[in-house]
Amino acid sequence: MPVEPPPSRWMFPPASEAGDDDVVAVGADLEPGTILTAYRLGMFPMHLPDGQLAWWSPVHRGILPLDGLRISRSLRKSVRRLITTVDCDFQAVIDGCADPSRADGWITPDIRSAYIELHRMGWAHSVETWDREGRLVGGLYGVAIGGAFFGESMFHRVSDASKVALVRLVEELRLGGAVLLDVQWVTRHLASLGAVEVGRDEYLRRLSDALMVPLPPRWR
């Protein structure tokens, strides 16, 4: 069962009042209680280009309907070829996502440390993808609260490895009774897998409903 941390000492403004700006607030800290409070209010942390910590709630929020994942014929072959696990090596997954050689990298050392602590406390989770020789070739991580999973990042070292991790995640969420998979923004890659955009108000409504749903049994 996840351990509830001490409450945050910060007060966030309502995401619904942020207007046309994806950034709701700037500042605060990356303590577990602060991050969890932000997720429950529809926000997530990411630094601005100048290094300031910001709390984001996109006007156009990306979600992946759990009954809408698109699995191509080639992806089905990759699912059979690769092996997936859950929460077997969270640190290796976040390090793969934080690889400095990746374009547009945003996972700073303080973000990395914060999510490793959330994993230790039972809130952050990873899906690992392995080849048949036992090498980690891809994965993803995020945070589970109630019936919502907040996807943070994914990576791959061989073709389709991150997609295979996503297939496993969706399977776990569906079997566990989850109702919301948040992907923050819809990229071309995620759109090809079935991700769609919803307005902020609609996202907040869905989030409110999802937080009332019990956590999937795997993570209780």
pLDDT tens series, the chain, 220 aa: 899 999 999 999 999 999 999 999 999 999 999 999 999 999 999 999 999 999 999 999 999 999 999 999 999 999 999 999 999 999 999 999 998 777 667 899 999 999 999 999 999 999 999 999 999 999 999 999 999 999 999 999 999 999 999 999 999 999 999 999 999 999 999 999 999 999 999 999 999 999 999 999 988 8
| 6-22 CB burial, b ≥16 within 10 A, e <16 | eebeeebeebeebeeeb
Sequence-separated (6 or more) residues with CB below 8 Å from residue 210: 146, 147, 148, 178, 179, 180
CA distance 14 to 138: 35
* One domain, residues 118 and 22: no
* One domain, residues 93 and 157: yes
* Number of separate domains in the chain: 2
What does the DSSP 8-state code read for residue 13? P
Asked if residues 118 and 91 have their Cβ atoms less than 8 Å apart, the reply is: no
Cα radius of gyration rounded to whole Å, the chain: 17
Q: What is the CATH number of the domain that holds 126?
A: 3.40.630.70
| Structure confidence at residue 220 (pLDDT) | 85
Q: Is 68 left (phi over 0), alpha (psi -120 to 50) or beta?
A: alpha
Domain that holds residue 33: 15-58
* One domain, residues 20 and 128: no
* One domain, residues 144 and 214: yes
* One domain, residues 122 and 183: yes
pTM for this structure? 0.96
Q: What phi and psi values does residue 34 have, to the nearest 5 degrees?
A: -70, -45
> Is 7 among the domain residues?
no
* One domain, residues 71 and 33: no
* One domain, residues 48 and 123: no
Beta-bridged to residue 150, according to DSSP, are 143, 182
Helix (H, G, I), strand (E, B) or coil at 163: helix
Asked if residues 71 and 170 have their Cβ atoms less than 8 Å apart, the reply is: no
